[in-house]
Amino acid sequence: MTSSRKPDLFPPKADWDRAPWNRWSFQHVREIVPTVEVWRGNGPVRALPRNEQNLDGLRIAGIDSGSTTLATFLEQTYTDIRTAERELHLEASDPLEAIRSLVAFTWRYYVAHPEFLALLNSENMHRAGHLKRSRKIRQMNSPLIEVLADVLVRGEQSGELRPGIDPMQLYISIAGLAYFYLSNNHTLAAIFGRELMTPAAHAARLEHMCAVVVGYVAAPVAPAAAPRRASIRLSPDNAIRRQR
């Protein structure tokens, strides 16, 4: 149930649409910003005309000041992140260090490239219509999963990593830990009342991500065997004998 009672403090102009003022503000917009009533006219309500068009050929601004299509722009964007991932040389690193490197890279890349997250959001809203038609993007993702699978196999063989980890699920989990935090930082900050985008908050988030992922993939350490205690019993002749 929403409240129409005016808040004790009038919402600040810059934050009228944020908690804790937004519940009242959205019901009293005309008291905060200039508004005007627009007459809808006479007659029955009718549906607006539709003029749907295929946007695959729509030209947009490209990376190098030129123009390109949305599909090509998506392919270029995925090429950038996959190329940067290859520079990690995960295949040459110790398994645990390789996974830590991938976690740190994913986080830092997402922080440095908010436009990549915006593209992901947009493409998901369109049910990955452009990605599904791109054979190139699927081909780019396969080598990454293969390299990660090799890291997991090497780690399992060396005893560093636990067995049975799905490389695709692991990558999705790593990406999700970064993506959810950054894509929802405004709502999370409002809900929890904490600033989430400061350098200190970023460092704490990365440390947490590494701990979560490494804690999952690392082979469990067997508990040290408890020392055996000697037991004492009395023999029929009351002589003390030790049993081990």
Supply the range of the domain harboring residue 20: 1-32
* Shared-domain flag, residues 4 and 100: no
Based on the domain organization, do 177 and 122 belong to the same domain?
Answer: yes
CA 110, CA 77: separation in Å to the nearest integer?
12
ω into residue 20 within 30 of 0, thus cis? yes
Q: Is residue 242 part of a domain?
A: no
Does 89 share its domain with 206?
yes
Is residue 48 one of the residues assigned to a domain? Answer: no
Contact, 161 vs 218, CB < 8 A?
yes
Q: Are residues 27 and 74 in the same domain?
A: no
CA–CA dist 82, 37 (Å, integer)? 51
DSSP state of 241: E
Domain with 81 in it: what CATH number? 1.10.357.10
Q: From CA 150, how far away is CA 153, in angstroms rounded?
A: 5
Return per-residue pLDDT of the chain as tens, 244 residues: 445 555 566 777 777 777 777 888 888 888 888 888 888 888 888 888 888 777 667 777 766 667 888 788 888 889 999 999 999 999 999 999 999 999 999 999 999 999 899 989 988 888 888 788 888 887 887 899 999 999 999 999 999 999 999 999 999 999 999 999 999 999 999 999 999 999 999 999 999 999 999 999 999 987 766 666 655 555 555 555 555 4
Q: Same domain, yes or no, for 83 and 6?
A: no
Per DSSP, 29 falls in state G
User: Does 130 map to a domain?
Assistant: yes
DSSP-derived secondary structure letter, 46: -
Please give the single-letter amino acid code of residue 108: R
